[in-house]
Amino acid sequence: MPVNNDKISQWKADIALSVDMYNDWFMRFAPVAFRDTRIKATKDVEAALRETAYLTNIQPILLREHPEVLPTLRMSTCPPIAVDRLIGLSGASPTLVKTMELIKRIPPRMSSMAVDANLVKVAHIIERLADPDIFTWLKTGMTPTPVEIHRAATIVADRLCGAVANPIIRNAQEKRQLEAIKAWLDVREYTQLGPASMVRFDKMEPGTYSFRMNVPVTLEGGIQEVNIPVDAVIMPMSSRPGDLPIFIEAKSAGDFTNTNKRRKEEAVKMAQLRSTYGPLVRFNLFLCGYFDGGYLGYEATEGIDWVWEHRIDDLAQFGI
């Protein structure tokens, strides 16, 4: 029985309440989440500066052992340079640079000699373009003071966090949403399964739940099997042997444009689950933020239902 996807006359009011709830959270907690991330990023930048002799001696061995410092180095130049621009300026291997940037490692199949030759090219560009207004010691040749190092690291950390501001906010919001679901379930005497339980989603006992659980699905063609992560997997108290749990995705958004770009993600996940486990799969959304009528209509057409966070008690209507 539908909970919210058939209540079209109620959508407009719920959208307004959901936007208000998201905005209230953002104003109170998003700056804290961003600031906490920036503090950690500042410490990481300070460590990278020490390892590179404060950007005066970037050695291939450092980049080989710590490929994760590449974003920091890119944000240390004037102007900050994007990945593709670094590749173009340095002439370094796109595979090497993108693997370092995205996967935080050196391509395992690239020879040691080729890796070092390319890392020398990257290091040369970073040293040449290092921002002298941030790293003031590069102009004076003096050893930087702790105050100068911290100031420079804070600026670079701001650049890093600015480039990934949306994921920082989204992760903080998802964490808060899952905490809300946990609190609601715990009051009703559900038991959370930890990662160490090693229980498959279809072997869960009634009255248990788990977060970020991997669920195996068979891709189109029926040959390849992959795991897809589901934010919340809940086995209702009333479940019988053989019943599937309820799958819930926590979704938040700070603007309407983004949600309409991402609305197919849930439909794909639903299709994969149903093609693997049958039409009785119950896949629902837990929404907070900017989800307009276009998004809701699309999900409803795909057979997906939802609960608004500002009306979390609607979870009970799913039989939880």
Top CATH class, 8-30+166-318: alpha beta
pLDDT of residue 304: 94
Contact (CB, 8 A) for 10 and 296: no
Please report, for the chain, the start and end positions of each structural domain, with discontinuous segments joined by +. Answer: 8-30+166-318, 35-164
Rounded Cα gap, residues 24 and 18, in angstroms: 10
**Rounded average pLDDT over 111-122:** 94
Residue with tokens 């990934």: 164
Output the pTM of the full model. Answer: 0.70
pLDDT value of position 221:
63
Distance of CA 303 to the CA centre of its chain: 26
Residue 310, C-beta contacts closer than 8 angstroms, at least 6 positions apart: 14, 17, 18, 21, 288
CA-CA distance, 192 to 86, in Å (whole number)? 46
pLDDT of residue 222: 66
Spatial separation of the C-alpha atoms in residues 186 and 208, rounded to whole Å: 10
| pLDDT tens-digit readout, 32-55 | 878 888 888 899 999 999 989 998
Rg (CA), the chain: 24
Concatenating the DSSP letter of every residue in 62-108 gives: HHHH-GGGHHHHHTTBSS---HHHHHHHH---HHHHHHHHHTSS--T
> For residue 19, what pLDDT is reported?
94
Mean pLDDT, residues 157-173: 81
Reply yes or no on whether the pLDDT at 195 is more than 90: no
Whole-number percent of the chain with pLDDT over 90: 64
